[in-house]
A and B are shown apart, each in its own frame.
Chain A
Amino acid sequence: MGETVVGGVKLAWQQIGEGPDLVFVHGLAASRAFWFAQYALPLSARFRCTMYDLRGHGYSDRAPSGYSSTALAAELAGLLDALEIERCDLVGHSYGGGVALEYAAAHAARVRSLTIMDTKVNALQPRQMLADMPYLSPFEIAVAERSGIDWSQEEQIGLRFLEVVARLKAANETLPTRDAVTPFGEGRGAARTARAWIDLIDLPGVREQLLLPGVDAAQLAQRLRDTPLLLIYGERSRCMPSCRSLSALLPQAAIETVPEGGHFFPLSHAATVRPSLERFLDSVS
Protein backbone atom coordinates (compact mmCIF):
# COMPACT_ATOMS: atom_id res chain seq x y z
CA MET A 1 0.00 0.00 0.00
CA GLY A 2 1.23 3.44 -0.72
CA GLU A 3 0.65 6.96 -1.85
CA THR A 4 2.11 8.32 -5.04
CA VAL A 5 1.81 11.85 -6.42
CA VAL A 6 0.79 11.79 -10.09
CA GLY A 7 0.30 15.08 -11.89
CA GLY A 8 0.32 16.91 -8.58
CA VAL A 9 -2.43 14.74 -7.08
CA LYS A 10 -1.82 12.22 -4.31
CA LEU A 11 -3.18 8.82 -5.26
CA ALA A 12 -3.75 6.00 -2.77
CA TRP A 13 -2.97 2.53 -4.11
CA GLN A 14 -2.23 -0.95 -2.90
CA GLN A 15 -0.87 -4.21 -4.23
CA ILE A 16 -1.38 -7.76 -3.08
CA GLY A 17 -0.08 -11.04 -4.44
CA GLU A 18 2.69 -12.04 -6.76
CA GLY A 19 2.70 -12.91 -10.44
CA PRO A 20 1.75 -11.13 -13.66
CA ASP A 21 0.37 -7.65 -13.11
CA LEU A 22 -3.40 -7.32 -12.93
CA VAL A 23 -4.71 -3.76 -12.50
CA PHE A 24 -8.24 -2.78 -11.42
CA VAL A 25 -9.99 0.56 -12.00
CA HIS A 26 -13.16 1.30 -10.01
CA GLY A 27 -16.17 3.35 -11.10
CA LEU A 28 -17.63 6.66 -9.97
CA ALA A 29 -18.36 7.16 -6.28
CA ALA A 30 -16.62 3.88 -5.49
CA SER A 31 -13.05 3.12 -4.36
CA ARG A 32 -10.40 0.44 -4.59
CA ALA A 33 -12.38 -1.46 -1.94
CA PHE A 34 -14.81 -2.34 -4.76
CA TRP A 35 -12.24 -4.86 -6.00
CA PHE A 36 -10.50 -5.88 -2.83
CA ALA A 37 -12.58 -8.61 -1.25
CA GLN A 38 -14.07 -10.53 -4.15
CA TYR A 39 -11.44 -10.04 -6.87
CA ALA A 40 -8.00 -8.97 -5.67
CA LEU A 41 -7.86 -11.21 -2.62
CA PRO A 42 -8.82 -14.44 -4.42
CA LEU A 43 -6.74 -13.59 -7.49
CA SER A 44 -3.69 -12.58 -5.46
CA ALA A 45 -2.63 -16.24 -5.39
CA ARG A 46 -1.81 -15.96 -9.10
CA PHE A 47 -1.41 -12.27 -9.90
CA ARG A 48 0.11 -9.15 -8.45
CA CYS A 49 -3.14 -7.21 -8.09
CA THR A 50 -2.94 -3.41 -8.11
CA MET A 51 -5.89 -1.26 -7.03
CA TYR A 52 -6.01 2.49 -6.59
CA ASP A 53 -8.46 5.24 -5.79
CA LEU A 54 -9.23 7.58 -8.69
CA ARG A 55 -8.66 11.24 -7.92
CA GLY A 56 -11.55 12.58 -5.86
CA HIS A 57 -12.34 9.10 -4.51
CA GLY A 58 -11.39 7.04 -1.47
CA TYR A 59 -8.11 8.16 0.05
CA SER A 60 -6.82 9.92 -3.05
CA ASP A 61 -6.87 13.70 -3.15
CA ARG A 62 -9.65 15.65 -4.79
CA ALA A 63 -8.40 17.90 -7.58
CA PRO A 64 -10.46 20.72 -9.13
CA SER A 65 -10.43 19.06 -12.57
CA GLY A 66 -9.03 16.18 -14.58
CA TYR A 67 -12.03 13.82 -14.41
CA SER A 68 -12.55 13.02 -18.08
CA SER A 69 -11.81 9.41 -18.97
CA THR A 70 -8.92 10.66 -21.10
CA ALA A 71 -7.40 12.66 -18.24
CA LEU A 72 -7.86 9.76 -15.84
CA ALA A 73 -6.22 7.40 -18.34
CA ALA A 74 -3.19 9.71 -18.33
CA GLU A 75 -3.29 9.59 -14.54
CA LEU A 76 -3.33 5.79 -14.67
CA ALA A 77 -0.35 5.84 -17.01
CA GLY A 78 1.51 8.03 -14.55
CA LEU A 79 0.72 5.70 -11.68
CA LEU A 80 1.76 2.58 -13.59
CA ASP A 81 4.99 4.32 -14.58
CA ALA A 82 5.67 5.14 -10.94
CA LEU A 83 4.93 1.55 -9.92
CA GLU A 84 7.09 0.29 -12.78
CA ILE A 85 4.26 -1.75 -14.28
CA GLU A 86 5.26 -1.96 -17.92
CA ARG A 87 2.47 -4.30 -19.05
CA CYS A 88 -0.65 -5.61 -17.37
CA ASP A 89 -4.03 -7.19 -17.64
CA LEU A 90 -6.46 -4.34 -17.08
CA VAL A 91 -9.97 -4.50 -15.61
CA GLY A 92 -12.42 -1.63 -15.21
CA HIS A 93 -15.99 -1.32 -13.99
CA SER A 94 -18.39 1.40 -15.13
CA TYR A 95 -16.54 4.70 -15.53
CA GLY A 96 -13.36 2.85 -14.58
CA GLY A 97 -13.89 0.74 -17.69
CA GLY A 98 -13.94 3.96 -19.70
CA VAL A 99 -10.64 4.93 -18.12
CA ALA A 100 -9.22 1.50 -18.91
CA LEU A 101 -10.46 1.74 -22.49
CA GLU A 102 -8.82 5.14 -22.99
CA TYR A 103 -5.59 3.87 -21.44
CA ALA A 104 -5.58 0.83 -23.72
CA ALA A 105 -6.27 2.98 -26.78
CA ALA A 106 -3.34 5.22 -25.89
CA HIS A 107 -0.95 2.45 -24.74
CA ALA A 108 -2.07 -0.74 -26.50
CA ALA A 109 1.37 -2.33 -26.21
CA ARG A 110 1.20 -2.04 -22.43
CA VAL A 111 -2.12 -3.89 -22.14
CA ARG A 112 -1.94 -7.68 -22.27
CA SER A 113 -5.73 -7.89 -22.06
CA LEU A 114 -8.65 -5.61 -21.33
CA THR A 115 -11.83 -6.45 -19.41
CA ILE A 116 -14.68 -3.97 -19.45
CA MET A 117 -17.52 -4.44 -16.98
CA ASP A 118 -20.71 -2.50 -17.63
CA THR A 119 -19.18 0.68 -19.00
CA LYS A 120 -21.14 3.37 -20.78
CA VAL A 121 -18.65 4.56 -23.37
CA ASN A 122 -19.41 8.24 -23.92
CA ALA A 123 -18.13 8.27 -27.51
CA LEU A 124 -20.41 5.34 -28.42
CA GLN A 125 -23.39 6.05 -26.16
CA PRO A 126 -23.62 9.80 -25.59
CA ARG A 127 -27.06 9.58 -23.99
CA GLN A 128 -28.32 7.00 -21.52
CA MET A 129 -32.08 6.84 -21.31
CA LEU A 130 -34.55 4.89 -19.24
CA ALA A 131 -35.71 3.35 -22.50
CA ASP A 132 -32.29 1.69 -22.89
CA MET A 133 -33.46 -0.70 -20.18
CA PRO A 134 -36.97 -0.03 -18.89
CA TYR A 135 -36.60 -2.51 -16.00
CA LEU A 136 -36.47 -0.74 -12.64
CA SER A 137 -35.27 -2.48 -9.52
CA PRO A 138 -37.27 -2.05 -6.29
CA PHE A 139 -34.61 0.37 -5.06
CA GLU A 140 -34.74 2.42 -8.25
CA ILE A 141 -38.52 2.61 -8.01
CA ALA A 142 -38.26 3.85 -4.43
CA VAL A 143 -35.69 6.49 -5.35
CA ALA A 144 -37.66 7.53 -8.44
CA GLU A 145 -40.79 8.08 -6.35
CA ARG A 146 -38.92 10.30 -3.90
CA SER A 147 -37.13 12.38 -6.50
CA GLY A 148 -39.99 14.00 -8.42
CA ILE A 149 -37.90 13.72 -11.59
CA ASP A 150 -39.39 12.64 -14.91
CA TRP A 151 -36.92 9.84 -15.50
CA SER A 152 -38.24 9.08 -18.98
CA GLN A 153 -36.82 12.41 -20.15
CA GLU A 154 -33.46 12.14 -18.35
CA GLU A 155 -30.57 11.86 -20.82
CA GLN A 156 -27.87 10.74 -18.36
CA ILE A 157 -29.92 8.48 -16.20
CA GLY A 158 -27.08 6.57 -14.53
CA LEU A 159 -25.20 9.68 -13.42
CA ARG A 160 -28.40 11.44 -12.37
CA PHE A 161 -29.56 8.47 -10.35
CA LEU A 162 -26.23 8.32 -8.54
CA GLU A 163 -26.55 11.99 -7.67
CA VAL A 164 -30.12 11.65 -6.41
CA VAL A 165 -29.21 8.70 -4.20
CA ALA A 166 -26.17 10.59 -2.87
CA ARG A 167 -28.26 13.63 -1.96
CA LEU A 168 -30.85 11.47 -0.18
CA LYS A 169 -28.12 9.62 1.69
CA ALA A 170 -26.26 12.80 2.62
CA ALA A 171 -29.50 14.18 4.02
CA ASN A 172 -29.73 11.05 6.19
CA GLU A 173 -32.94 9.98 4.51
CA THR A 174 -33.68 6.32 4.82
CA LEU A 175 -34.83 4.55 1.72
CA PRO A 176 -37.37 1.83 2.28
CA THR A 177 -35.75 -0.88 0.20
CA ARG A 178 -32.39 -2.07 -1.01
CA ASP A 179 -31.10 -4.12 -3.91
CA ALA A 180 -28.30 -6.64 -3.42
CA VAL A 181 -25.85 -3.79 -4.00
CA THR A 182 -26.91 -0.16 -4.00
CA PRO A 183 -24.80 2.99 -4.35
CA PHE A 184 -23.86 4.42 -0.95
CA GLY A 185 -25.49 1.36 0.56
CA GLU A 186 -23.01 0.65 3.32
CA GLY A 187 -25.09 1.79 6.22
CA ARG A 188 -24.53 4.99 8.12
CA GLY A 189 -20.92 5.44 7.09
CA ALA A 190 -21.75 5.76 3.45
CA ALA A 191 -23.15 9.23 4.10
CA ARG A 192 -19.51 10.37 4.09
CA THR A 193 -18.89 8.95 0.63
CA ALA A 194 -22.22 10.39 -0.54
CA ARG A 195 -21.19 13.86 0.65
CA ALA A 196 -17.79 13.48 -0.98
CA TRP A 197 -19.48 12.55 -4.26
CA ILE A 198 -21.76 15.58 -4.11
CA ASP A 199 -18.82 17.85 -3.32
CA LEU A 200 -17.02 16.43 -6.34
CA ILE A 201 -19.79 16.76 -8.91
CA ASP A 202 -20.66 20.24 -7.62
CA LEU A 203 -17.16 21.43 -8.59
CA PRO A 204 -17.39 23.64 -11.70
CA GLY A 205 -17.00 21.61 -14.86
CA VAL A 206 -16.76 18.15 -13.34
CA ARG A 207 -20.13 16.88 -14.61
CA GLU A 208 -19.21 18.01 -18.10
CA GLN A 209 -15.84 16.27 -17.86
CA LEU A 210 -17.53 13.00 -16.85
CA LEU A 211 -19.51 13.09 -20.09
CA LEU A 212 -16.70 14.00 -22.47
CA PRO A 213 -16.14 11.48 -25.23
CA GLY A 214 -12.69 9.97 -25.49
CA VAL A 215 -11.25 8.47 -28.65
CA ASP A 216 -13.88 7.93 -31.34
CA ALA A 217 -15.20 4.68 -32.77
CA ALA A 218 -12.77 4.53 -35.69
CA GLN A 219 -9.80 5.09 -33.40
CA LEU A 220 -11.00 2.45 -30.94
CA ALA A 221 -11.39 -0.07 -33.76
CA GLN A 222 -7.93 0.68 -35.10
CA ARG A 223 -5.96 0.95 -31.88
CA LEU A 224 -7.51 -1.99 -30.03
CA ARG A 225 -7.82 -4.42 -32.92
CA ASP A 226 -5.10 -6.69 -31.50
CA THR A 227 -6.02 -6.37 -27.82
CA PRO A 228 -7.70 -9.39 -26.21
CA LEU A 229 -10.97 -8.01 -24.93
CA LEU A 230 -13.66 -9.30 -22.59
CA LEU A 231 -16.95 -7.41 -22.31
CA ILE A 232 -19.13 -8.32 -19.34
CA TYR A 233 -22.48 -6.56 -19.14
CA GLY A 234 -25.53 -6.99 -16.99
CA GLU A 235 -28.70 -8.26 -18.57
CA ARG A 236 -30.54 -5.38 -16.87
CA SER A 237 -27.92 -2.77 -17.62
CA ARG A 238 -28.53 0.54 -19.35
CA CYS A 239 -24.98 0.37 -20.70
CA MET A 240 -25.88 -2.38 -23.17
CA PRO A 241 -25.79 -0.02 -26.20
CA SER A 242 -22.08 0.47 -25.47
CA CYS A 243 -21.56 -3.29 -25.36
CA ARG A 244 -23.22 -3.72 -28.74
CA SER A 245 -21.16 -0.92 -30.29
CA LEU A 246 -17.88 -2.20 -28.84
CA SER A 247 -18.54 -5.75 -30.02
CA ALA A 248 -19.31 -4.48 -33.53
CA LEU A 249 -16.11 -2.42 -33.61
CA LEU A 250 -13.90 -5.09 -32.07
CA PRO A 251 -14.98 -8.51 -33.35
CA GLN A 252 -12.35 -10.31 -31.28
CA ALA A 253 -14.25 -9.38 -28.11
CA ALA A 254 -15.55 -12.16 -25.91
CA ILE A 255 -18.95 -11.17 -24.56
CA GLU A 256 -20.61 -12.34 -21.38
CA THR A 257 -24.02 -11.26 -20.19
CA VAL A 258 -24.81 -11.62 -16.51
CA PRO A 259 -28.35 -12.97 -16.11
CA GLU A 260 -30.45 -10.55 -14.04
CA GLY A 261 -27.33 -8.47 -13.53
CA GLY A 262 -27.77 -4.78 -12.80
CA HIS A 263 -24.99 -2.22 -12.97
CA PHE A 264 -23.28 -3.48 -9.82
CA PHE A 265 -23.10 -7.13 -10.87
CA PRO A 266 -19.33 -7.35 -10.21
CA LEU A 267 -20.29 -7.30 -6.53
CA SER A 268 -23.75 -8.86 -6.56
CA HIS A 269 -22.74 -11.65 -8.96
CA ALA A 270 -19.06 -12.03 -8.10
CA ALA A 271 -19.41 -15.79 -7.71
CA THR A 272 -19.96 -16.11 -11.46
CA VAL A 273 -18.17 -13.01 -12.75
CA ARG A 274 -14.81 -13.73 -11.15
CA PRO A 275 -14.55 -17.22 -12.70
CA SER A 276 -15.42 -15.67 -16.09
CA LEU A 277 -12.61 -13.18 -15.63
CA GLU A 278 -10.20 -15.92 -14.59
CA ARG A 279 -11.04 -18.07 -17.61
CA PHE A 280 -10.43 -15.10 -19.88
CA LEU A 281 -7.12 -14.25 -18.21
CA ASP A 282 -6.06 -17.89 -18.55
CA SER A 283 -6.94 -17.84 -22.23
CA VAL A 284 -4.71 -14.85 -22.97
CA SER A 285 -1.75 -15.76 -20.76
Chain B
Amino acid sequence: MSVTSDTLVIQLSELLQDFTQDWDNDFDGDMTRETRLLADLGFESIDIIQLVVAIEQMVKKSKLPFNELLMKDGRYVDDLSIGQIADFLSQRV
Protein backbone atom coordinates (compact mmCIF):
# COMPACT_ATOMS: atom_id res chain seq x y z
CA MET B 1 0.00 0.00 0.00
CA SER B 2 1.56 3.25 -1.06
CA VAL B 3 2.10 6.12 1.31
CA THR B 4 0.20 8.24 -1.11
CA SER B 5 -2.90 6.10 -0.69
CA ASP B 6 -2.70 6.34 3.10
CA THR B 7 -2.26 10.09 2.88
CA LEU B 8 -5.29 10.24 0.61
CA VAL B 9 -7.33 8.27 3.13
CA ILE B 10 -6.65 11.02 5.67
CA GLN B 11 -7.47 13.78 3.19
CA LEU B 12 -10.63 12.01 2.02
CA SER B 13 -11.76 11.46 5.60
CA GLU B 14 -11.46 15.18 6.28
CA LEU B 15 -13.30 15.99 3.08
CA LEU B 16 -16.08 13.52 3.92
CA GLN B 17 -16.42 14.88 7.46
CA ASP B 18 -17.15 18.24 5.92
CA PHE B 19 -19.31 16.79 3.16
CA THR B 20 -21.61 14.85 5.48
CA GLN B 21 -21.68 17.10 8.52
CA ASP B 22 -25.35 18.10 8.14
CA TRP B 23 -26.66 14.68 7.20
CA ASP B 24 -27.81 13.16 10.48
CA ASN B 25 -26.46 9.81 9.24
CA ASP B 26 -25.96 8.07 12.59
CA PHE B 27 -22.27 7.58 11.82
CA ASP B 28 -20.03 8.27 14.73
CA GLY B 29 -16.44 7.32 15.21
CA ASP B 30 -13.46 7.84 12.98
CA MET B 31 -13.51 7.33 9.27
CA THR B 32 -11.04 4.74 8.11
CA ARG B 33 -9.93 3.02 4.95
CA GLU B 34 -12.84 0.60 5.44
CA THR B 35 -15.59 3.22 5.87
CA ARG B 36 -18.17 2.79 3.10
CA LEU B 37 -20.00 5.65 1.43
CA LEU B 38 -23.46 4.09 1.20
CA ALA B 39 -23.63 1.62 4.05
CA ASP B 40 -21.82 3.75 6.65
CA LEU B 41 -22.23 7.36 5.57
CA GLY B 42 -25.66 7.20 3.93
CA PHE B 43 -24.62 8.29 0.46
CA GLU B 44 -27.01 8.27 -2.48
CA SER B 45 -26.16 8.34 -6.17
CA ILE B 46 -26.51 12.13 -6.34
CA ASP B 47 -24.06 12.50 -3.46
CA ILE B 48 -21.49 10.39 -5.27
CA ILE B 49 -21.70 12.62 -8.33
CA GLN B 50 -21.33 15.68 -6.13
CA LEU B 51 -18.43 14.15 -4.19
CA VAL B 52 -16.53 13.55 -7.41
CA VAL B 53 -16.36 17.29 -7.95
CA ALA B 54 -15.18 17.91 -4.42
CA ILE B 55 -12.46 15.29 -4.86
CA GLU B 56 -11.32 16.85 -8.13
CA GLN B 57 -11.01 20.17 -6.35
CA MET B 58 -9.14 18.52 -3.49
CA VAL B 59 -6.55 16.89 -5.76
CA LYS B 60 -6.59 19.87 -8.15
CA LYS B 61 -7.16 17.68 -11.18
CA SER B 62 -10.21 17.44 -13.40
CA LYS B 63 -11.52 14.81 -15.80
CA LEU B 64 -10.23 11.88 -13.80
CA PRO B 65 -11.71 8.61 -15.14
CA PHE B 66 -14.11 8.20 -12.21
CA ASN B 67 -16.33 6.02 -14.33
CA GLU B 68 -13.84 3.21 -13.79
CA LEU B 69 -14.41 3.56 -10.07
CA LEU B 70 -18.13 4.28 -9.95
CA MET B 71 -19.58 2.11 -12.66
CA LYS B 72 -19.76 -1.58 -13.25
CA ASP B 73 -21.75 -3.02 -16.16
CA GLY B 74 -23.47 0.31 -16.75
CA ARG B 75 -24.72 0.70 -13.19
CA TYR B 76 -23.44 2.33 -10.07
CA VAL B 77 -21.38 0.00 -7.91
CA ASP B 78 -23.14 -1.19 -4.78
CA ASP B 79 -20.80 0.67 -2.48
CA LEU B 80 -17.33 2.22 -2.25
CA SER B 81 -14.91 2.41 0.63
CA ILE B 82 -12.63 5.33 1.36
CA GLY B 83 -9.71 2.96 0.73
CA GLN B 84 -10.98 2.11 -2.75
CA ILE B 85 -11.18 5.79 -3.66
CA ALA B 86 -7.73 6.46 -2.21
CA ASP B 87 -6.20 3.58 -4.17
CA PHE B 88 -7.87 4.81 -7.33
CA LEU B 89 -6.56 8.34 -6.80
CA SER B 90 -3.07 7.28 -5.78
CA GLN B 91 -2.61 5.65 -9.18
CA ARG B 92 -3.78 8.70 -11.11
CA VAL B 93 -2.84 11.84 -9.24
Residues in A lying within 8 Å of B, measured CB to CB: 1, 12, 14, 31-33, 36-38, 41-42, 53, 58-59, 186-193, 270-271
Which residue from chain B places its CB closest to the CB of A274 in the assembled complex? B74
B44 near A193 (CB under 8 angstroms)? yes
Q: Give B14-47 as 1s and 0s: 1 = Cβ < 8 Å from A's Cβ atoms.
A: 0000000001110000000000001101111111
Considering the complex, give the chain B residue whose CB is closest to the CB of A195. Answer: B24
B46 touches A187 (CB 8 A): no
Shortest distance from the beta carbon of B88 to any chain A beta carbon, whole Å: 17
Contact with A along B42-75 (1 / 0, CB 8 A): 1111111110010000000000000100110011
Interface of A is mostly: helix
Assuming the contacts A14-B49, A37-B75, A270-B74, asked whether A192 and B38 have C-beta atoms less than 8 A apart, the reply is no
Contacts of B67 in A (CB 8 A): 41
Bound Cα distance from A140 to B50, whole angstroms: 31
**A32-B46 contact given A187-B38, A187-B39, A188-B39, CB 8 Å threshold:** yes
Q: A1-B53, A32-B49, A36-B49 are in contact. Are A189 and B42 (CB under 8 A)?
A: yes
In the assembled complex, the Cα of A41 lies from the Cα of B48 at a distance in Å of 14
Question: Top 10 nearest A-B pairs by Cβ distance?
Answer: A33-B45, A189-B42, A31-B46, A33-B46, A189-B44, A58-B46, A1-B53, A186-B44, A189-B43, A188-B42
What are 30 A-B contacts defined by CB distance under 8 Å? Answer: A14-B53, A31-B45, A32-B46, A33-B44, A33-B45, A33-B46, A33-B48, A36-B45, A36-B49, A37-B70, A37-B71, A38-B74, A38-B75, A41-B71, A42-B74, A53-B46, A59-B50, A186-B45, A187-B38, A187-B39, A188-B38, A188-B42, A189-B25, A189-B38, A189-B41, A189-B44, A192-B23, A192-B42, A193-B44, A193-B46
